Structure 1
Amino acid sequence: MTELVATTPGLLPLPDWAKGELSDLKGHQKSDLIDGTEGEAVTEAYDRVRAEELDWQTEAGLDRVVGGQARWDDNIAHPLSMADAVDTRGIVRYYDNNNFYREPVVVGELTATGDVAAELDATAEALDDGAGDLQAVLPGPYSLADLATDEQYGDEAAFLDAVADFLVDEVEQFPDVATLFLLEPSLVENPPEAGIDERAGAAIDRVATATEADVVCHTYWGAVPEKPYAHLMDADLDAVGFDFVSDHEANLYNITEYGTTDDIALGLVDGQNTRVEGVETVRERVEWVGEQIPAQSFDTTYLTANTELFYLPVNRAREKLAVLARAAAGEEEVTA
Structure 2
Amino acid sequence: MTHIATTPGLFPLPDDAKEALSDLKGHQKGDLVSGDESADVSAVYDDVREELVAAQQDAGLDRIAEGQGRWDDMLAHPLTVHDNVSPGGIVRYYDNNNFYRDPVVEGELTFSGDLAADLEAAAELTDDLQAVAPGPYSLADLATDDHYGDEADFQAAVADFLAAELEAFPDGVETVFLLEPSLVENPPGDGADERASDAIDTVASAVDADVVAHPYWGALDEKVHAHLLDADVDAIGYDLVSNHDDNVYNVAEYGTKDSVALGVVDGQNTLVESPDTITERVDWFEGRVPNDFEDVYLTPNTGLFYLPVNRFEEKLQALGAATSDESVEEAEVEA
* TM-score, shorter chain, exceeding 0.5: yes
Q: Which residue of 2 aligns with 1:227?
A: 223
Distance 1:33 1:188, change over 3 A: closer
Q: Check conservation: 1:244, 1:251, Cα contact below 8 A.
A: yes
User: Quick one: distance in 2 between partners of 1:257 and 1:40?
Assistant: 53
Q: Check conservation: 1:272, 1:312, Cα contact below 8 A.
A: yes
User: Quick one: distance in 1 between partners of 2:119 and 2:279?
Assistant: 31
Q: Which residue of 2 aligns with 1:267?
A: 263
**CA deviation vs aligned residue, 1:88-130 (integer Å, no higher than 9, x gap):** 1222144234543331100111112000000000111233xxx
Structure 1 residue 327 corresponds to structure 2 residue 326: no
| Unaligned runs of at least 5 residues, structure 1 | none
User: Quick one: distance in 2 between partners of 1:81 and 1:116?
Assistant: 12
Q: Check conservation: 1:263, 1:298, Cα contact below 8 A.
A: yes
How big is the shift at 1:21? 2.1
Match 1:290 to one of 281, 286, 293: 286
Q: Which residue of 1 aligns with 2:169?
A: 174
Percent identity, aligned pairs only, is 63
What is the TM-score normalised by the length of structure 2?
Answer: 0.93
Distance 1:154 1:91, change over 3 A: same
Distance 1:164 1:17, change over 3 A: same
Structure 1 residue 139 corresponds to structure 2 residue 138: no
Q: Which residue of 2 aligns with 1:257?
A: 253
Match 1:306 to one of 301, 305, 326: 301
Structure 1 residue 238 corresponds to structure 2 residue 234: yes
What is the TM-score normalised by the length of structure 1?
Answer: 0.93
How big is the shift at 1:305? 0.2
SS at match of 1:178: strand
Distance 1:79 1:321, change over 3 A: same
Distance 1:26 1:108, change over 3 A: farther
Give the superposed CA RMSD.
1.9
Q: Check conservation: 2:32, 2:71, Cα contact below 8 A.
A: no
How big is the shift at 1:154? 1.1
SS at match of 2:102: strand
Q: Which residue of 1 aligns with 2:65?
A: 66
Distance 1:97 1:41, change over 3 A: farther
Distance 1:17 1:157, change over 3 A: same
Distance 1:91 1:119, change over 3 A: same
Match 2:148 to one of 148, 153, 156: 153
Q: Which residue of 2 aligns with 1:53?
A: 52
Distance 1:34 1:183, change over 3 A: closer
Q: Which residue of 2 aligns with 1:186?
A: 182
Q: Which residue of 1 aligns with 2:330?
A: none
SS at match of 1:89: coil
| Unaligned runs of at least 5 residues, structure 2 | 328-335
Q: Check conservation: 1:26, 1:33, Cα contact below 8 A.
A: no
Once the two structures are superposed, the pairs formed by residues 78-93 of structure 1 within 5 Å of their partners are 78-93=77-92
Q: Which residue of 1 aligns with 2:160?
A: 165
